[in-house]
A and B are shown apart, each in its own frame.
Chain A
């Protein structure tokens, strides 16, 4: 078995230490080592966006980042988005707009939308569609997702 590295990172605002093999992706670390299963594995190839998380303020496919690369960095995942008693406006907007069916792509879409609104609080519909083009959904109807992000933008920038 390959030798494991010790990694210290910040996940959703808390300092976290873990051991991982150098070949383990951040997605594998989150899901299999830390049991944070909100980021999903859809393709393990960077094509579907289901594993989207925010790394030092930048949207990434966590299947394409190595766990060891997160040393000293900050990771935001879907589990850290809501306050204990209140959903994030993007989460509320997804519920209100029925922007999900099976829901497996939903955490990825929401983290992707979060990264967009963090950098561009008032995106146009066109900008939203371009930004979310890296996230795939097989059942919902993307129109409701786009609408949810537009609603959330209104809410957060108001």
Chain B
């Protein structure tokens, strides 16, 4: 009788985690920064995964002059430092806030996500760019450099269909940007195909949206196509990169790429070496055309305990707005995480 009585009871564990990151940074471009993010994420009943992140960040610039002309509608300080994965707008903003559910019937992969999320294009996850070893986003992924920003947010739905080795992810949404470059309202769409084999993960993406610049001269739609690849070797070497081509409005074009390398081998302890080479070419009627190249050497140190240090040296040239041709950027991040496990019983 006891067994029968308990056979209808299902134990269900719900895990909820909270994270807090506190960051302070300084750049040789005479810019200081502070930022904080708080996240709440976990599994609700029925294995629905949820994620909410709020962020605040602010920067203060010294007297160093900006080289080149500042771009309209973008960062007033005139540099992308510390903009890797979160905006530094001086306001508290809700970044991603979504719920998603994945089904894995017979080895297939089906997923649906609803809410606010980063544009599912290329290498786009927060942790791919924030605290990964680089203190700046790739040139092609920064607000206002005529590419596709890491910080652009969509409000809508994504569907994922396929299998872990090969799947398609499509989204329909409206823009909800919280950084400096805010796209005009409209219907956004993106589609991404990702494959995985051996040590390689490769994908191709396409996204359409409205431009972020004024409709007085930025007419038409922005559209970008991209290819991305990641490779990892068991010796502790990783590489990844993206190629982007498209236009942020009619009559212009943006072409760019970046390649990141990471080295973290036994004996290096908490140190990870990071290297990035990148290029951006923006063609537009004179005198608006721009181009830039940048090389970044850096390290990330996972200090014992909750502190992560990042140090970057970069050398850049071109005519995108920037403050110095050489820069040394540094940040320290303190992170804490709390996990809560709830077990509930349901009688059927």
A complexed with B: no
Q: Which residues of B contact A (CB under 8 A)?
A: none
Q: Which residues of A contact B (CB under 8 A)?
A: none
